[in-house]
Amino acid sequence: MQEATSSPKIGAKSMGVADRSTPLLRNYWYVAAFSDEISRQPMRRTILEEDIVFYRTEDGKPVAVQNRCPHRSFPLHTGRVEGDRIVCGYHGMEFNPDGSCALVPALNTAPKAIRLDAYPLEEDGPLLWIWMGDPANPDYSRLIRQEWCTSPEWTHVKGYMYMKANYLGLHENLMDLTHFPFLHGKWNIARPEHAAAPSKIEEGEGFIRQREVHHDVGMPPALVEAVGMKAPFDREAQHMVQIPGMHQGRQITTDASDPPKADEQHIIHIMTPETQTSTHYMWAMARNNAVDDEELSEQIRVVGEGAFMEDKVALEDIEELVARDHRPNFREKIIKTDEGGIRVLRMFARLAAQEQEGMQEAIAAE
């Protein structure tokens, strides 16, 4: 039994902390989809409340244009792709990958005034990135390329989940692993005492990084065997947030061998906002040992999908409760293990304020 020896400092969320009403951040790259989701068949996905249609050209280049015919708002994804063009199913208007009109059948010409917003894309291995800011000025310095995406020395498993909740809760969730033994108890990946493991947090220009170590954790037996590791295991979790749509996790497990063996994994969480209260949640787990072991891959995939599904359900339960529970004076409390997550929310609140200011200046300058 514990006793309140000294009263820890408890805060409450306030203005400077982003929440579900904070405007979504636009001047960033988001992962729109996994590369293998995009084919010659048009696919619809709404990102930051913009309805977008994706497809590939004959050469396999990915295309993203507004999923709304400029003529009568018909959803283009219900039309068809012909050559490199997408053809509207209503009056047959055809559009090029750059959004320009290729043909208005009724006019037998292609007016410049009729065009789609086109979105800059960047394909990096399994990830298809989309730039949601000014299409004329994609900022490539904000694109996060990673070795595991393309290097043959790495392999990965991955998954997509539609989440009816704001994306910020997922950022908080991932910066605070003290939920492991409670929410993910059945996977045997942490014990209650791990909840009190301290975090080291670093904040620099454009990033927040966090680290914590859990001693004597569980490991998938197949992975232990593949790497030839010896219990007990310690796990260092590393977290990096640089952009609104990605949490880069790294997990380094060391064993009791002499000298110790180490296993490293990347655990990438992708949260691409659909609306203020719904998110495309994609994840990938990459490793650089036993890369050809498909049984191991499947074991990792099952644990990943199972645990991340628990996060998704928890965040959806919260979203539903917040809509239902009317307590005007309620503010969520902050404790010391929230520091990483709160820093992320503060960074996003600052960035959102800057973007809103920028938009107002742009309107004033017109």
Applying CB under 8 A, which residues contact a copy of itself?
2-8, 10, 46, 49-51, 66-68, 70-75, 78, 87-92, 103-114, 117, 169, 172, 176, 178-179, 181-183, 192, 195-196, 314, 317-318, 320-322, 324-327, 330, 332-333, 335-338
Closest approach of a copy of itself to the CB of residue 86, in Å:
13
Closest approach of a copy of itself to the CB of residue 110, in Å:
5
Question: Phi and psi dihedrals of 336, rounded to 5?
Answer: -65, -30
Closest approach of a copy of itself to the CB of residue 300, in Å:
24
Closer residue to a copy of itself (CB): 102 or 291: 102
Closer residue to a copy of itself (CB): 83 or 228: 83
Position 121: which residue type?
Answer: L
CA distance 32 to 88: 22
Residue whose C-alpha is closest to residue 220's, from 256, 192, 188, 248:
188
Closest approach of a copy of itself to the CB of residue 22, in Å:
16
Give the count of beta carbons closer than 10 Å to the beta carbon of residue 346: 15
Closer residue to a copy of itself (CB): 271 or 286: 271
In the chain, count H helices and then E strands: 6, 19
CA distance 223 to 256: 15
Closest approach of a copy of itself to the CB of residue 149, in Å:
30
Closest approach of a copy of itself to the CB of residue 264, in Å:
26
Closer residue to a copy of itself (CB): 91 or 200: 91
Closer residue to a copy of itself (CB): 74 or 207: 74
Closer residue to a copy of itself (CB): 263 or 319: 319
Residue whose C-alpha is closest to residue 227's, from 250, 248, 252:
252
Q: Do the Cβ atoms of 282 and 158 come closer than 8 Å?
A: yes
Question: Phi and psi dihedrals of 286, rounded to 5?
Answer: -115, 145
Beta strands in 114-178, from DSSP E residues, in sequence order: 121-124, 127-131, 155-163
